[in-house]
Structure 1
Amino acid sequence: MAAIIGRTSRQALLVTKSGTFSPKANFVSFKGKNGKKWVVAMVGAATVGAVGVGAALATPVLAEGVELHPPKYPWSHNGLLSALDAASVRRGYQVYKQVCAACHSMEYLCYRNLVGSIMTEEEAKKDAEEVMVEDGPDEEGNMFKRPGKLSDKFPAPYANEEAARFANGGSLPPDLSYIVPARHGGEDYVFALLTGYCEAPGGIALRDGLYYNPYFPGGAIGMAPALYNEVIEYEDGTPATASQCAKDVCIFLRWASEPEHDIRKQMGLKAVMIFSFMLAISYYLKRHKWSVLKSRKIAFKK
């Protein structure tokens, strides 16, 4: 590219009387308006050339050819008026509780959020009481353990970030409270990631503790495959295949990041109905009331 720019610049600087380029021609003078134009043209050509060289050098560094984009899946809640599958959300919470909670936290979700959407108040209380929460201080100034309550948040699997990294070979398991809207592709990406583990292709070497997943940026991921057939047993008897578990936990994570999902769509439908009614009233007022005032002629007497 540099050679092409150099040849072009030399040819541009050579001018003959006949209008054709020749190596014996005289150099162009940079005095006057024409000289300024030539200087601007040279600076522009050099800038374009530098940008082209930079882009050519940066292209091999990008790893976009290795990373796969997740396909679009027909989620039942993607419709304009479609609600989340409550049974799938409940099963997804079971997958998170028995599989994902061992490494991933959900620090922005409380047990009270489960009431009404996933389980009854009694079931949520019973689920919270299975966790011992540190509380205090008491009258003597000591911390103590107590059973969880509805107001408590989901327990974190590790005491701090350093402990989480040490237990996972230096990788930090992300918090799953808002993982679906935080990733490009949403639940499509999470589902593809959970079900996309495979053997690394030839020429790609992975260090110990890493696994190959083409949907993860770079391909090397520190999380081992967590879902496989019959990894858990669903309470409602649904076959717990790997794809079914991945689907349910994705819907649960969508609900966790947006518990008001169904209410928001209901409010949107009500708003459309109300504004449609107001639009009809506004049209009537414009045609039968405002039109009279608009066409009225005011005459001023001398």
Structure 2
Amino acid sequence: MLPLFLRSIKFLVGGAFIFVLALALFGTVSSWITDPPQPTAEEEFHHHPKELALKSDGPFGKFDNQQLQRGFLVFEKVCAACHSLNLVSFRDLQQIGYNEAEVKKIAKDWPFKQPVQDAKAGTWGERDNLPSDRFPKVYYPGTGTPPDLSLITKARHGGAAYVHSLLTGYEEKQPAELLAKFPGAKTPDGSHYNPYFANLNIAMPPPLTAADQVTYSDGTAATVENMAKDVSAFLVWTAEPTMERRHAAGLAVVIFLLIATGLAYGAYLTVWRGVKH
């Protein structure tokens, strides 16, 4: 008798639990239908990255070394004062067309040096960079460190298109519609309005402000648009410098599989020729 009573209690408790869950679900759904959540300022005014076409796009894409060198120049002259590139070595630049002597000069002249410690004195000093060194880290003690850009096109949704849109997307002031709808969303002092940034306001001031911030040796016009596109292409390379080899290996594997499939089918026809089904 007792086990039957316990089983009845078990079903009653389970039924009550299911009823409470169903009631909570019904309440949530009905409140969402009658009073749907309002979008936030970030959800309503954030822009998706603009379209950006690069020669490295797609399964057969290849890097344009001239463009990568222009992008490195933009990084060197504009971005490197604040952002690190610590997963890339100076000698890696030979992959985009710089010769050994040029790499040595770039490493030696780089404004940030390699930290070294004097074990006996217990003090730190600096030495010139070598081609085998990675780009030194940039530190801002007490104020936060801007993100390293080595993998930025992998770490951000949209990749190169995001970087390009962010660099070219600064606006002098917020839209009147935004302030009318969200009065509390005013850009704080020290920040800058950029609808391509996640929360619309970014601490980094516009890095590309005018044409000819750099001088391209190949005669390309150094407009803000071109500089943003070139540095975005360069950061695609820093994030995946082996992309071309990976594409070539993938193509070779696909061709091999096609040939192997044809040979296997030919062997199948030869073995079963003349055999009645």
Normalised by the shorter chain, which TM-score bucket? 0.7 to 0.9
Name the residue aligned to 1:101. Answer: 80
Asked if residue 251 in structure 1 is aligned to residue 225 in structure 2, the reply is: no
**Shift of the alpha carbon at 1:288?**
0.8
Q: Structure 1 residues 193 and 141, CA, compared in 2 at 3 Å: closer, same or farther?
A: closer
Asked if residue 201 in structure 1 is aligned to residue 183 in structure 2, the reply is: no
**Shift of the alpha carbon at 1:91?**
0.6
Q: Structure 1 residues 61 and 141, CA, compared in 2 at 3 Å: closer, same or farther?
A: closer
Aligned sequence identity (%) = 33
1:271-290 equivalences under 5 Å are 271-289=253-271
How far apart in 1 are the matches of 2:73 and 2:126?
25
> Per-residue CA shift, 1:232-270, capped at 9, x if unaligned?
111222110000000000000000000001111111222
Residue of 191, 195, 202 corresponding to 1:210: 191
**Shift of the alpha carbon at 1:285?**
1.2
Q: RCO higher in 1 or 2 (8 Å CA, sep ≥ 6)? A: 2
Q: Which amino acid is the alignment partner of residue 245 of structure 1? A: M
Q: Structure 1 residues 117 and 40, CA, compared in 2 at 3 Å: closer, same or farther?
A: closer
How far apart in 2 are the matches of 1:118 and 1:52?
63
Q: Tell me if structure 2 keeps the 8 A contact 1:115–1:124.
A: yes
> Per-residue CA shift, 1:33-63, capped at 9, x if unaligned?
xxxx9x9789635522224436846434473
Q: Which amino acid is the alignment partner of residue 154 of structure 1? A: F
Asked if residue 175 in structure 1 is aligned to residue 148 in structure 2, the reply is: yes
Residue of 191, 208, 214 corresponding to 1:232: 214
Asked if residue 152 in structure 1 is aligned to residue 133 in structure 2, the reply is: yes
Residue of 73, 76, 79 corresponding to 2:52: 73
Q: Tell me if structure 2 keeps the 8 A contact 1:181–1:257.
A: yes
Query: Quick check: 50-59 or 221-230, which moved more?
Result: 50-59
Residue of 108, 112, 116 corresponding to 2:95: 116
TM-score after normalising by structure 1: 0.74
Give the SS at the match of 2:127. Answer: strand
Q: Which amino acid is the alignment partner of residue 100 of structure 1? A: C
Q: Tell me if structure 2 keeps the 8 A contact 1:138–1:144.
A: no
> Per-residue CA shift, 1:4-59, capped at 9, x if unaligned?
xxxxxxxxxxxxxxxxxxxxxxxxxxxxxxxxx9x978963552222443684643
Q: Which amino acid is the alignment partner of residue 262 of structure 1? A: E
Name the residue aligned to 1:3. Answer: none
Q: Which amino acid is the alignment partner of residue 201 of structure 1? A: P
Q: Which amino acid is the alignment partner of residue 66 of structure 1? A: F
Q: Structure 1 residues 40 and 105, CA, compared in 2 at 3 Å: closer, same or farther?
A: closer
How far apart in 2 are the matches of 1:135 and 1:209?
35
> Per-residue CA shift, 1:68-87, capped at 9, x if unaligned?
11132222221321201111
Q: Structure 1 residues 66 and 180, CA, compared in 2 at 3 Å: closer, same or farther?
A: same
Q: Which amino acid is the alignment partner of residue 57 of structure 2? A: N
Name the residue aligned to 2:201. Answer: 220
Q: CA RMSD in A?
A: 3.0
How far apart in 2 are the matches of 1:40 and 1:197?
52
Give the SS at the match of 1:135. Answer: strand
**Shift of the alpha carbon at 1:275?**
1.8
Q: Which amino acid is the alignment partner of residue 200 of structure 1? A: Q
How far apart in 2 are the matches of 1:163 and 1:43?
49
Give the SS at the match of 2:53. Answer: coil
Q: Tell me if structure 1 keeps the 8 A contact 2:85–2:148.
A: yes
Name the residue aligned to 1:17. Answer: none
Q: Tell me if structure 2 keeps the 8 A contact 1:187–1:254.
A: yes
> Per-residue CA shift, 1:126-152, capped at 9, x if unaligned?
111124323354787765432211111
> Per-residue CA shift, 1:91-121, capped at 9, x if unaligned?
1011001100111111111112112324112
